Amino acid sequence: MIRFDQVHKRYTNGREALAGVSFTIADGEMAFLTGHSGAGKSSILKLIALIERPTRGQVFIGNQNTASIKASGIPQFRRHLGVVFQDHKLLHDRPISDNVALPLIIAGVPKREIDKRVRAALDQVGLLSKEQGLPLELSAGEQQRVGIARAIVGKPKLLIADEPTGNLDPDLALEIMQLFKRFNDVGVTVVIATHDVHLIDRVGARRIGLADGRVAPPAAA
């Protein structure tokens, strides 16, 4: 599903975030990217979401070399990808249901179908009763679950998350991770960047350790 081949990423400010990263994540696998901040976790996720492009090396997503995707093809590419952010990135001026519906509206799904799928997605994250509320009426953990509902409403094959539990206390964090695990159980490939090593041990999934822009041997990570 995902293959990084000797990927380098140097930002315009000169910082080298990735220095020759290679790894493969199989279809239906769940993997954690770990490492200190600045180790390159976020850069990898940005390369997967085509927010950034590699300076050198190649990134394959679902057997497609991302270098072949032009700027005009990015919107279409992202519609097959679910992204969860540490700060949720919800739109606070509209109801929760509208937030979750956004990717479907953008993709041009008919309204009746949208209603059905939004309710299904909110049901999966346990927030069906809050459908008509505003994001700010929810707790941090609930807001993150809305973010997850928005990421999975388009039924993506690949779900990526950047520090999704960064702002949550341990119990809520575990709940969120178990939620991701459930999506993985039904076949979604899940890649999560996190620095919370204890949590990974409790969920039990593959771990790709990063240090100084390189994949670190398991012992060092």
Partner 1 sequence: MSVQTWLERHAQTLVGSLGRLSQQPVATLMTVTVIGIALALPLLLGVFLNNARTATAQWNQTFDMSVYMDKKATPSRTQALAKELRSRPDVAAVRVITAAEGLAQFRSASGFGNALDALEENPLPDALVVTPAPAASTPEGMAALEAAIRTEADVQSVQADTEWGKRVQAILGVLRRIVWLTGALLALGVLLVIGNTIRLDILNRRSEIEVMKLVGATDGFARRPFLYTGIWYGLGGGLVAILPVEIAVLLLAAPVARLAGAYGSQFRFLGLGVAEGGMLLAGALALGWVGSWLAATRHIRGIDPS
Name the residues that contact partner 1, by CB under 8 A. Answer: 49, 51, 75-79, 83, 89-91, 102-103, 105-111, 150, 154
**Residue 156 and residue 7: Cα distance in Å, rounded?**
24
**Residue 39 and residue 35: Cα distance in Å, rounded?**
6
Count of beta carbons in the 10 Å neighbourhood of residue 201? 10
Of 102 and 216, CB closest to partner 1: 102
Of 65 and 76, CB closest to partner 1: 76
Q: Find the shortest distance in angstroms from Cβ 220 to partner 1.
A: 30
Q: Find the shortest distance in angstroms from Cβ 75 to partner 1.
A: 4
**Residue 162 and residue 44: Cα distance in Å, rounded?**
10
Of 80 and 207, CB closest to partner 1: 80
Of 25 and 83, CB closest to partner 1: 83
Q: Find the shortest distance in angstroms from Cβ 103 to partner 1.
A: 4
Of 99 and 200, CB closest to partner 1: 99
* Long-range CB contacts for residues 130-137, cutoff 8 Å, separation at least 24: 130/96, 131/95, 131/96, 131/97, 132/95, 132/96, 132/97, 133/95, 133/96, 134/92, 134/94, 134/95, 134/96, 135/88, 135/90, 135/91, 135/92, 135/96, 135/99, 136/92
Q: Find the shortest distance in angstroms from Cβ 81 to partner 1.
A: 8
Q: Find the shortest distance in angstroms from Cβ 72 to partner 1.
A: 8
